[in-house]
């Protein structure tokens, strides 16, 4: 990516791991209209970039993300109804770009993840945090509600937990966030990067097309329902995917006791880039 951003940094390493770094450290990486636009653009482009294997969301400074910049929210509240609605739709589009990214998405969390910051966690496929991080769905404290992040929060933790978090604004420890499913792993701060790198390595071991198919399949089935249509979908999907060239290469590599072609390809064709 050659795009220049002012509120985020984007880099792609030779292995195809794209790092999207929130870079508004002075305001605890709270997002405003500029960051919203830049995150939307970055995730949309990375989703389609053929050499990108994983998208890692991280941040500079002591906080992951304090949520929405209150100055931005105050500005938006002064707009007319039409402009206010369009601003909110842009926020919703950002969350959707993260949630529907075709590449595996991983969030590395340190410090606070409040309001929309907790929403970024809920919208990511995998979240690893330092065990001293804390989380809060804090919108009600400012007289608003977590409407945009609500669907992602419900998907992550369920309706009743999401309702509790939104109503109380309670702060969760990293351990509590793991217990309810908001994040997947909490590790000591000095082991955070190691844990992230281990998960990235696991993702890169797997077929890139298979990972894309997995995300699309689980989105389509949603909460599993035992219906003939879902059984048929499952059968048709695996029949189609196991006939692909990637699947055939995966089987051949296993029997030949060698790495599959996509591992070699990511090392040979990956390019280090910065946006």
Q: Measuring CA to CA, how many Å separate 164 from each of 82, 160, 169, 214?
A: 31, 6, 8, 31
For strands 54-59 and 112-114, give the pairing: unpaired
Tokens 């060698």, residue located: 258
Q: Comparing C-alpha atoms, which of 154, 50, 55, 51 is closest to residue 98?
A: 55
Active site residues: 139
Assigned token pair, 157: 């933790």
Provide long-range contacts, Cβ within 8 A and 24+ apart, for 142-147.
142/70, 142/73, 144/73, 146/115, 146/119
Assigned token pair, 68: 């929405």
Assigned token pair, 237: 């999907």
Distance of CA 255 to the CA centre of its chain: 34
């Amino acid at each position: 990516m050659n795009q220049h951003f002012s509120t985020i940094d984007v880099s792609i390493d030779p292995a195809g791991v794209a790092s999207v770094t929130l870079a508004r450290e002075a305001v605890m990486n709270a997002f405003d209209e500029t960051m919203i636009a830049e995150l939307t653009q970055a995730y949309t482009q990375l989703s389609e970039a053929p050499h990108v294997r994983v998208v890692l969301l991280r941040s500079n400074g002591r906080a992951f993300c304090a949520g929405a910049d209150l100055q931005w929210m105050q500005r938006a509240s002064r707009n007319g109804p039409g402009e206010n609605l369009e601003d909110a739709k842009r926020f919703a589009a950002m969350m959707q770009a993260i949630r529907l990214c075709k590449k595996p998405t991983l969030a590395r969390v340190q410090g606070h993840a409040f309001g929309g910051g907790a929403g970024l966690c809920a919208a990511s496929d995998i979240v690893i945090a330092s065990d001293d991080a804390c989380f809060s769905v804090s919108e009600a404290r400012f007289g608003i509600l977590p409407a945009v992040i609500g669907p992602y929060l419900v998907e992550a933790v369920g309706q009743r937990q999401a309702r509790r978090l939104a109503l109380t604004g309670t702060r969760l420890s990293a351990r509590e966030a793991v217990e309810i499913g908001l994040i997947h792993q909490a590790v000591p701060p000095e082991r955070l990067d190691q844990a992230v790198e281990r998960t990235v390595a696991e993702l890169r071991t797997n077929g890139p097309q298979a990972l894309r198919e997995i995300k699309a399949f689980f989105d389509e089935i949603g909460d599993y329902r035992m219906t003939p249509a879902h059984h048929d979908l499952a059968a048709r999907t695996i029949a189609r995917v196991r006939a692909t060239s990637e699947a055939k290469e995966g089987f051949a590599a296993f029997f030949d006791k060698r790495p599959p072609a996509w591992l070699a390809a990511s090392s040979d064709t990956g390019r280090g880039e910065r946006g």
